[in-house]
Amino acid sequence: GENVEQHPSTLSVQEGDSAVIKCTYSDSASNYFPWYKQELGKRPQLIIDIRSNVGEKKDQRIAVTLNKTAKHFSLHITETQPEDSAVYFCAASTLPANFGNEKLTFGTGTRLTIIP
């Protein structure tokens, strides 16, 4: 099955600086890579996703890059703000699914703290 590794587990960044979180995956069949932001006790919220047919995607201060050959993808947050503080999870899956058997496999999470 798929295995997703995520680094670092904790990250402290000065407000205004950039933050980068990296993930690797094992299953070459995976083609959908979402990133979730989770605040304490809340549901994982999708912040950005990328599919294997593109190498980069950007949405305002958030960008994701994907290297299919190396099987790794990264989240970049620029101009960080205090409200970016949360736990971030990467994940991998294969879409479209067939018969519901394509679950999300999560990384172990990165606790991001933005220092004012």
Partner 1 sequence: AAGVIQSPRHLIKEKRETATLKCYPIPRHDTVYWYQQGPGQDPQFLISFYEKMQSDKGSIPDRFSAQQFSDYHSELNMSSLELGDSALYFCASREDSSNYGYTFGSGTRLTVV
Q: How far is the CB of 25 from partner 1 (least distance, A)?
A: 14
Plot region of 106 (φ>0 → left; ψ -120 to 50 → alpha; else → beta): beta
Nearest CB to partner 1, comparing residues 15 and 51: 51
Q: Is 29 in the site for partner 1 (CB under 8 A)?
A: no
- Binding residues for partner 1, rule CB under 8 A, total 26
Q: How far is the CB of 4 from partner 1 (least distance, A)?
A: 9
Q: Is 116 in the site for partner 1 (CB under 8 A)?
A: no
The H or E element spanning position 1 is none
Contact, 49 vs 33, CB < 8 A? yes
Please give the structure tokens belonging to residue 2.
């798929």
Q: List, in sequence order, the alpha helices (H) in the chain.
A: none
Residue from 12, 29, 61, 95 touching partner 1 (CB under 8 A): that is 95
Q: Which stretch binds partner 1 (CB under 8 A): 12-20, 59-67, 76-84, 93-101?
A: 93-101
Q: How far is the CB of 34 from partner 1 (least distance, A)?
A: 6
| DSSP strand pairing (110-115 vs 105-106) | unpaired
Nearest CB to partner 1, comparing residues 99 and 116: 99
d(CA 74, CA 21): 6
